[in-house]
Amino acid sequence: MMKRDHGGNVSGISRRYGIDEDKIIDFSANISPLGYPPGLKEMIIKEFDSVLNYPDIDSFDFVSRLSKYHDIGRN
C-alpha cells in the first residue's frame, strides 16, 4: 500500500529537498503565509480567561445575534 503524506511537515520537506524552511509555503492546513492578523495576539491574551468551555454546539447565541443583525428569523 502506498503511503500518502498529509502535509504540514515543513521541516521534513526542508530536509528532504534541501530547501530553507522560510522558503516553503504550506497550504495544507489553512496556514497563512502572511502570518497572524495585527492585534490577534493581544486579543487572545486579553480574552484568554473567558475561553473556558467549548462553544455551544448548536451555536444558539451566534445564530440569534446574526439573525437579529440581519433582521431575519433564526430559521
Number of structural domains the chain divides into: 1
Which residues have CB under 8 Å from 13's CB, separation 6+? 19, 24
Going by C-alpha positions, the residue among 10, 38, 44, 39 that lies closest to residue 25 is 10
Stretch 67-73: mean pLDDT, rounded? 94
Instruction: With respect to residue 5, please indicate whether it lies within any of the assigned structural domains.
Output: no
Apex 37 CA angle, 9 and 44, nearest 5: 90
Contacts of 25 (CB under 8 A, 6+ apart): 33
**pLDDT of amino acid 4:** 64
Indicate whether 50 belongs to any domain: yes
Q: Where in the sequence is the domain holding 35, given as residue range(s)?
A: 10-69
Q: Is residue 21 part of a domain?
A: yes
Determine the Cα–Cα distance for residues 20 and 74; give it in Å rounded to an integer: 50
Residue 54 pLDDT = 83
Q: pLDDT of 40-69, one tens digit each?
A: 999 999 999 988 888 888 899 999 999 999
| Residue 3 in domain | no
